[in-house]
Structure 1
Amino acid sequence: MEANQQNQLAAFLKERGVLKSAKIIAAFEAVDRQDFVPEEMGGLAYVDEPLPIGFGQTISQPSTVAFMLEHLDAREGDIIFDVGSGSGWQAALLAQIVGSAGKIYTAEIVLELCQFGRENIKKYPALAERIVFECGNAVVGIQSLPQRESLDKIIAAATLDEVPLVWRAQLKVGGKMLYPSHESLFEEIKTGRDEFRTVEYPGFVFVPFIKG
């Protein structure tokens, strides 16, 4: 773990103005991106670029992750659905932010990447206890979500053609969903049972969402 380089990455993102909140800065400093990239890509772990992790998927660009997490505004104790967990880096950042009272559910349809992410998270035992991995299709929502629970936040890192209805149903009123679609990032806040307020941020390109 190269703590100095990781802190330099966090400092760079702060200078760019995309990393602002103390809780997210602390997460970037605590969770090392190098622990979540393939070994052969380790030398590029602190570059502000997406990196391939296999199977046509990537670990997202740090500045994009910072932007998304700032807008998601995860809070201590939140229950969050991380769609397309891939390397597990974003799930680990979220687990750091929500603390021991929170929980992160992840879904990854590529079995090998689901296992890759799970193994990466094991490097952070305290965070691993807060993360539930589901290796399967995220379109069906969280299968292991207790019936009495609903989600505070949903964040997707792959481009959607449309948002699955079950995601909207599992999100609580007042909850927030962040996802890319058609080269924009969309932020939706659930204002009623079937009502959402939407904000669009153009200029984002992500890998396609795999439906299976």
Structure 2
Amino acid sequence: MGDRVSDAFAAVPREWFLPERERDRAAYDGPIEIGHGQTNSQPRTVEAMLRLLEVRPGDRVLDVGTGSGWTTGLLAHLTGPEGTVRGLELEPDLVAFGRANLSQGDWPWASIDAAAPGVLGDPAGAPYDRILVSAEARNLPTELVSQLGEKARMVLPVAGEMLLIQQESGSVQVSRHGRYRFVPLR
């Protein structure tokens, strides 16, 4: 059996999620501008985050700061049709861009919605099995930790460090996994 994360990268082409003028740079292992001060993240960084997240088939996943929709597509491949993925994005133009990009794949169990101003994540849809945050928080956002279910995981950059948050039996474990730069979480 192949490596699930590598299989997701093969099944969800980055070029589908880039502005037309940037598609020939899809193989570039660096961030690529998608407008509105945001980027399509460096593939190596996305891969590291997905490996930490350990998405299982059937998981309910929240994708915060979906941007171009690439991570939403990757997560949809990992959950499979028995799971759900909800992408959230604050920038209205990027919501439309991400939705159009995501529609190139066949993932009806994945969606991208506008994030509610002043609300972090999706408290009404919680709990989630996995939460991926592709924007940097200053401090660990307790509002997102509270949206994790039992035996759940969240991966997010906080103050320049990639954190893995694991919640089980009401206990929250935090581990650090290297230094990264992201656009700020608003």
CA offset digits 1:161-187 (Å, max 9, x no partner): 134333222211210011001111000
Which string of whole-angstrom CA distances, capped at 9 and with x for unpartnered residues, describes residues 41-90 of structure 1?
11111111100000000000000001110110001000011010000001
- Partner of 1:132, secondary structure, is strand
Contact 2:140 2:158 in 1 (8 A): no
**Partners of 1:76 and 1:191 in 2: how far apart?**
19
Q: CA deviation at 1:143?
A: 5.7
Counterpart secondary structure, 1:140: coil
How does 1:133-212 map onto structure 2 within 5 Å? 133-137=112-116, 139-142=119-122, 145=125, 150-193=127-170, 195-210=171-186
Cα distance in structure 2, aligned partners of 1:192 and 1:132:
29
Supply the AA of the counterpart residue of 2:113.
E
Distance in structure 1 (CA, Å) of the matches to 2:12 and 2:178? 28
Counterpart check, 1:104 vs 2:111: no
Percent identical residues: 32
Report the equivalent of 2:22: 41
The structure whose Rg is larger is 1
Query: By percentage of residues, which structure has more helix?
Result: 1
Q: Counterpart amino acid of 1:132?
A: S
Structure 2 stretches lacking a partner, 5+ long: none
The count of aligned residue pairs is 184
After TM superposition, the score normalised by the length of structure 2 is 0.93
RMSD: 1.6
Q: 1:51 is matched with which residue?
A: 32
Residues of 2 paired with 1:42 and 1:140: CA distance?
31
Q: Distance in 2 between matches of 1:140 and 1:182?
A: 17
- Please state how far the C-alpha of 1:209 moved relative to its aligned partner: 1.1
Q: Secondary structure at 2:99's aligned position in 1?
A: helix
Would the alpha carbon gap of residues 143 and 174 (structure 1) be closer, same or farther in structure 2, given more than 3 Å must change?
Answer: closer
- In the alignment, the residues of structure 2 paired with residue 81 and residue 165 of structure 1 have an alpha-carbon distance, to the nearest angstrom, of 15
Q: Within 1, Cα distance between the matches of 2:64 and 2:140?
A: 11
- Rounded Cα–Cα distance in structure 2 between residues aligned with 1:119 and 1:84: 16
1:69 aligned to 30, 36, 50, which one? 50
Q: Distance in 2 between matches of 1:163 and 1:110?
A: 22
Q: Which runs of 5+ in 1 are unaligned?
A: 1-20
- Cα distance in 2 for partners of 1:82, 1:61 equals 16
Cα pair distance change 1:137/1:180, threshold 3 Å: farther
Amino acid at match of 2:177: Y
